[in-house]
Chain A
């Protein structure tokens, strides 16, 4: 029993990613996002999530995947890690499964263009390959400052 973990599966480009369900607060449809001026490109802005102003990150841009127009399947996954709460824009969110922890393997060097840094591991279930994201690293605000500093240098 303890060896299973519930994860939410979402799609980004052609890959399937997974985040532990306890970090996911809700999944929202696309809505109006208020742009925040002069911040890094992957921060799309903020939304009003039932009275809480929540920052929204475009995961494609965050991982350096080319941007694409939002579609009907585009979703915002609201995640919370520690004190940080944010929404992640993904191409589609379609599944919740129980993942056997034993099936998780350490990440290979590069997976689908995403730096291994952000990956906790990969899991193979039947014919699907799931990439487990390390949300703590994805949501590290220090990255913001580094990125901003880089941009202001250019």
Chain B
């Protein structure tokens, strides 16, 4: 069978399942008693096993199988959830991940996992009464066989006072609409309980692909007799036999692989039908989704960008033509395309969860290596960000987290001496605010040692002695982001390899974001990252400097103003204005950009007040054109480092306007 066409799907889904297992195992670590988590893991592992077996990756399948056995033992309370068990599970997961990666890279997914398999088997056999199980296999009384998952549901329901019944229903020989009768029986039963399994499968029943009798497994609170009576009310029923599913004959049922697979599918089917009553199984995924190749979304985005440019052009034309009909149409079109823009942008949004997901594992591992106790709290994992940003933000966050664990959180002994909880906490927060997404990494560790930072900065020649005396706390912390800075006394392989926070800062700035840090000695440090919601379309203010048009991102504008020439003051050879009680330096764009002069300057000077962090500057321009949505375009590979220009855009008239990088203009 030709499998290559399924390979991509297989790889994608395997990764998802592995991620899910990873997460759940971490949860399990926190609450080892929670059997529903084990079920969740089991389900993912089971699907993974099925998929890899189908695709012919035997090693993958057999390792998953061993994992499954251990999970099953946990589920049946044969072995407790201990750190040793979790470690082996994590090791197996690492193996599985490596295999999937290898397959993705074109390998055959083979890997020597005999040791891990041995570990798993050892765990499984630890104290499990396996022989007792096998002996019972032969005298099974159950008509149907159940897979692990179904068994679990039955057992749990029994605990909650449900009866688990097996119904064997036969229809009259002369029954014409068998499917209709089956449907009616289903209806009757679903009023009082729940069907967890049918034999033959539901779709076979619906297609009337059975003789005259079928079996149902039902969970209900009603008695056997009551059910029997109710079913007999459906006409053309020949007979109903009811027997109870007992715990013994459940355990006795040894299940063939194929039936097992089938069973899972059925359960899922039923689950969807009766989600509201299914309490024991967790969410089966909400809403319908389809997978779309990201390239197509990118294409859609590109096409839409073209449309935005044409929209700008149309708006301009309609303004100059002053035809009310045209105006109206263009306005409506603008509105529709505005909505369209929102939809397209949200389509590209992905929850940061995708990035955050891998952190708990990482933090756990790191903390263990360093002998520290760290608890990672993730808040706002459902915050959404443009996919392009998501792809890029992972590494900087890893770096910051490592930093927090390595430098921030102290050793348990130091912490208890300082009367802190031995376990340090790192908060990873994500939230929306305006047109930005904020990601914060906060730890309750030692905080930044200002003196140490200064010494290091002096040592590395980043600042001079005189400068060091006048630095505010904030400025001092900013030094962390200077290139070639690393304060760790000992260079560990976790952080402090010289490629410090400056790399993080550059990365975030290249995404159009910014990063800041604040710290209180003894109480912890907080890194705060601000990111734009989307990279490709943004709101700008268009201004004119002589004959040239420039775009200033709205996100950095505080306000615009027109000031009189007399209001310009001079301080230390620097022109400043008094802006709402603050002294703001004037930046004459004409001089900075060496714009060829054509117009006389008037008595009134339009300025755009922009900010970078808490610093401000007033940019002197010649006139304001207005606010506009623009599509961000890069200047290409040739012009990589242009001063104070972050990109370009195409205006309605087809000309290129440059986008100002206010950060570079504020010193």
Using a CB–CB distance below 8 Å, which chain A residues touch chain B? 32, 34-39, 43, 45-48, 51-55, 83-86, 139, 141, 144-145
Q: Report the number of A-B residue pairs with Cβ-Cβ less than 8 Å.
A: 79
Asked whether A141 lies within 8 Å of B640 as measured between CB atoms, the reply is yes
Q: Which residues of A contact B593 (CB under 8 A)?
A: 37-38
Interface string of B14-34 (1 = CB under 8 A from A): 000000000000000000000
| Extra 8 A-B pairs, beta carbons < 8 Å, given A46-B635, A47-B656 | A37-B643, A38-B594, A39-B639, A46-B658, A51-B306, A53-B633, A84-B636, A85-B636
In the bound complex, how far is the Cα of B634 from the Cα of A145, in angstroms? 18
B592 at the interface (CB under 8 A from A): yes
Asked whether A145 lies within 8 Å of B641 as measured between CB atoms, the reply is yes
Q: Which residues of B contact A36 (CB under 8 A)?
A: 635, 639, 642, 645, 658
Using a CB–CB distance below 8 Å, which chain B residues touch chain A? 305-306, 309, 548, 592-595, 633-645, 648, 650, 654-658
Asked whether A48 lies within 8 Å of B656 as measured between CB atoms, the reply is yes
Asked whether A34 lies within 8 Å of B635 as measured between CB atoms, the reply is no
Residue of B nearest to A36 (CB): B642
Asked whether A48 lies within 8 Å of B636 as measured between CB atoms, the reply is no
Q: Which residues of B contact A45 (CB under 8 A)?
A: 656
In the bound complex, how far is the Cα of B593 from the Cα of A34, in angstroms? 13
Q: Which residues of A contact B656 (CB under 8 A)?
A: 34, 45-48, 53
In the bound complex, how far is the Cα of B383 from the Cα of A88, in angstroms? 46
Q: Which residues of A contact B643 (CB under 8 A)?
A: 37-39
Residue of A nearest to B305 (CB): A51
Asked whether A37 lies within 8 Å of B645 as measured between CB atoms, the reply is yes
In the bound complex, how far is the Cα of B633 from the Cα of A65, in angstroms? 32
In the bound complex, how far is the Cα of B638 from the Cα of A139, in angstroms? 7
In the bound complex, how far is the Cα of B639 from the Cα of A45, in angstroms? 10
Q: Which residues of A contact B595 (CB under 8 A)?
A: 37
Q: Which residues of A contact B592 (CB under 8 A)?
A: 37-38
Asked whether A53 lies within 8 Å of B637 as measured between CB atoms, the reply is no
Asked whether A141 lies within 8 Å of B637 as measured between CB atoms, the reply is yes
Q: Which residues of B contact A53 (CB under 8 A)?
A: 633-636, 648, 650, 656
In the bound complex, how far is the Cα of B114 from the Cα of A129, in angstroms? 73
In the bound complex, how far is the Cα of B305 from the Cα of A55, in angstroms? 20
A45, A46, A54, A55: residue with the most chain B Cβ atoms closer than 10 Å: A46
Cβ of B665 to closest chain A Cβ, rounded Å? 12
In the bound complex, how far is the Cα of B309 from the Cα of A141, in angstroms? 29
Asked whether B639 lies within 8 Å of A55 as measured between CB atoms, the reply is yes
Q: Which residues of A contact B309 (CB under 8 A)?
A: 51
Given contacts A34-B656, A36-B645, A51-B309, A43 and B594 within 8 Å (CB-CB): no
A35, A43, A47, A84: residue with the most chain B Cβ atoms closer than 10 Å: A35
Asked whether A48 lies within 8 Å of B639 as measured between CB atoms, the reply is no
